[in-house]
Amino acid sequence: MSVSYLLIALIAMFGHSEDFLGTTLLSRPLVLGPLVGLVLGDVTQGVIIGATLELIFMGNIKVGAAIPPDVITGGVLGTAFAIISGKGPAIALAIAVPVSILAEMVISGLFVLRAMLNKKFNQYAEDGEFKGIQRLHIISGLLRPVLMGIIIMLALQLGAGAMKTFLDMIPAWVQTGLQVAGNMLPALGFALLMNLMFNKNMAPYFFLGFMLAAYLKLPVIAIGGLGVIIALLVTQVASKPVTDEDDDDDFGFDEEPAKQIKPNPKLSKRDIRMLFFRSLALEANFNFETWQNTGFAFSIIPVLKKLYNTKEAMAAALKRHLQFFNTSPYGSTLIMGITAAMEEQNSNDEDFDEESINSVKLGLMGPLAGVFDSLFWGTFKVIAAGVGTSLAIKGNILGPLLFLLIFNVPHLLLRYKLTFVGYDAGTRFLQNLAKNNVMDRLTKGSSILGLMVVGAMPVTLMNITTPLHIGTEKSAVGVQSILDQVVPAMIPLGLTFLVYYFVKKNIKTTYLLLGLLLLGFAGSIIHLFA
């Protein structure tokens, strides 16, 4: 069993290494659950438990300074203990929720400690020692997977036997209560996703998705396809370019950007390609003081090496890129490409204003974060999770595979393309986007598509009903049948909006998670929910 524990700890370390792998969702429970199941000899159970936990933690995403519960540690330990004990998904969530909250505290502490390394990064920059910055970025980034791997290994070694004995003592009614509570927890994920996109103008698309699933029984993937069509139609007619120079109707990403004349190009395609690959480690050394700054510096160092040959010039460039930086990792390469073009211009022109480089970075990171977080967290991840979990919850291994493909094929293609677009066109590309309202159209289209899929999820992925009856014996009528005649899936829909209301009131996610657990467990005991 020790070998199995070691492999499970390595799976968790792999999940915690995602910050080196471009935030590609390899750390999600839907992906790690089957791997844990494979190690323990029950892949099907791992797929089902992974899908169950994915639904619960669906809205747990790292945006800005928000650090959500650690689904990697909680999910891996919950899946492992549930399979070892043979108790199933209900026990997995009972373990995963508190463990993920405790692990979040450990990771937050690490993000605070990492800020203490900034002084050393700045010393390296002052000396023009780019190798020291690269080395420290990687070492600091590895602290998280190593630390969490040790914690998981110790938890499995010390707690597996005691945990199995404890779980065997849990009576059936407690397990039933946990099952009902687990069915309620996805409401939190849906509410957190709605918080990114839902408003009075976009609300009809949410209810359209809900009605297509509730009344016409369409699967999530079909609703996603309809959402794409509707988003394209609406964004074509709703927004007009501010100038009459270009009235093309597509999003503009297929067009060749305007070419800038580069009088003395020094960077090759290989240099720009390297910028893309290094961008995958943008968040490896995330900290609470300067956020992604060392990741940006780590990414652009090959470009700087090509452009600056003196220690003084390299030191000045490194200090520029160790300033505060934070944006969506999915759109970060656009800023990096533009920055590379500006650095190249700076190396060719003595009169170039160096301050403008950081001004452009700071000016772009906020708007682009809003667009790309909305596009990927609110659209692609929602569709990928909807399709993936709907298959995986039935034990279908295609669920995790489709989940990764639906999210990462567009993610990696766009991320790669944006690196070259940013370098080739520089700031003119963004000016062209602004003229044609492309950013607004992209954001609106993403919200339409995302909300239609989220609207379908309470119907297709939440199984909450009431066993209550009205009347006595032979004349008794089920309350659930009455509710279904009025609005099918009324309870999941109402619960989702109730949680959304508390999210808008800034109630902490942890409290909502515990509140839903309590509501589901108590509701099961008094036979209000089933």
Q: What is the pLDDT of residues 381-395, one digit of tens each?
A: 888 888 899 889 889
Q: What is the pLDDT of residue 285?
A: 94
User: 3-class SS at 469?
Assistant: strand
With H, G, I as helix, E, B as strand and everything else as coil, classify residue 291.
strand
- Single out the residue of 495, 523, 512, 522 nearest to residue 101, CA to CA: 512
Checking if the pLDDT of 171 tops 80, the result is no
What are the tens digits of pLDDT across the range 196-235?
A: 778 888 899 999 999 999 999 888 778 878 888 888 888 7
Average pLDDT over every residue of 472-492 = 85
State the alpha helices, DSSP H only, in 86-185: 89-115, 118-126, 130-168, 172-184
Tokens at residue 89, please?
């998904």
Contact 91, 82 (CB under 8 A): yes
Hey, is 200 helix, strand or coil?
A: coil
Residue 368: is its pLDDT beyond 50? yes
Strand partners, 325: 291
Q: Is 237 exposed, middle or buried (0-12, 13-18, 19+ CB in 10 A)?
A: exposed
> Highest-confidence range of 166-170, 256-260, 475-479, by mean pLDDT?
475-479
CA distance 29 to 399: 12
pLDDT at 196: 72
Position 415 scores a pLDDT of 95
pLDDT at 70 over 80: yes
Question: Is 262 a residue whose pLDDT tops 60?
Answer: no
In the block, tokens 């290994």 appear at: 153
Residues 6 or more apart from 384 whose CB is under 8 A from it?
A: 25, 402, 403, 404, 406, 407
CB atoms under 10 Å from CB of 349, counted, come to 11
What pLDDT, on a 0 to 100 scale, did the predictor assign at position 246?
A: 46
pLDDT band with cut points at 50, 70 and 90 for residue 252: very low
Ramachandran area for residue 41 (φ above 0: left; ψ -120 to 50: alpha; else beta): left
Between residues 59 and 135, which one has the greater pLDDT?
135
First to last CA, the chain: 37
Structure tokens at 118: 């900034």
The whole-number average pLDDT for the span 333-351 is 89
**What confidence score (pLDDT) does residue 250 get?**
41
Q: Read off the pLDDT of residues 478-487 as tens digits, 9 standing for 90 and up.
A: 888 888 888 8
Sign of the CA dihedral with 351 first, then 355, 361, and 366 last: negative
pLDDT higher than 60, residue 249: no
Per mean pLDDT, which range of 331-340, 406-415, 449-458, 498-507 is the poorest? Answer: 449-458
CA distance 124 to 134: 10
* pLDDT tens column, 432-448: 666 666 667 767 777 78
pLDDT higher at 189 or 53: 53
Per-residue pLDDT at 494: 93
Q: Can you tell me the mean pLDDT for 250-257?
A: 44
User: What is the pLDDT, as a whole number, of residue 370?
Assistant: 67
Average pLDDT over residues 188-203: 81
Amino acid code (one letter) for 472: T
Pick 378 or 239 by higher pLDDT: 378
Tell me what the mean pLDDT of segment 5-14 comes to: 95
| Model confidence band, residue 377 (pLDDT cutoffs 50, 70, 90) | confident
Q: What is the pLDDT of residue 439?
A: 64
Taking the C-alpha atoms of residue 140 and residue 34, their distance in angstroms, rounded to an integer, is 29
Averaged confidence pLDDT in the chain: 84
Q: How confident is the model at residue 167 (pLDDT cuts 50, 70, 90)?
A: low
- For the segment 169-192, the average pLDDT, to the nearest whole number, is 78
Q: Place 99 in a pLDDT band, splitting at 50, 70 and 90.
A: confident
Q: What does the pLDDT read at residue 188?
A: 80
How far is Cα 167 from Cα 40, in angstroms, rounded to an integer?
A: 18
Selected residue with higher pLDDT from 159 and 92: 92
- Residue 254 — pLDDT band, cuts 50, 70, 90? very low
- Are the C-beta atoms of 463 and 488 separated by less than 8 Å? no
Where do the DSSP E strands lie in 287-331?
none
User: What is the pLDDT averaged over residues 9-20?
Assistant: 94
Average confidence (pLDDT) over 178-206 = 81
Please state which of the ranges 54-63, 485-494, 519-528 shows the lowest mean pLDDT: 54-63
Q: Exposed, middle or buried by CB within 10 Å (0-12, 13-18, 19+), for 355?
A: exposed
Spatial distance between the Cα atoms of 469 and 237, rounded to a whole number of angstroms:
50
> CA–CA separation, 447 vs 255, rounded Å?
23
Q: How far apart are CA 219 and CA 199, in angstroms?
A: 24
Q: Which residue has the higher pLDDT, 366 or 356?
A: 356
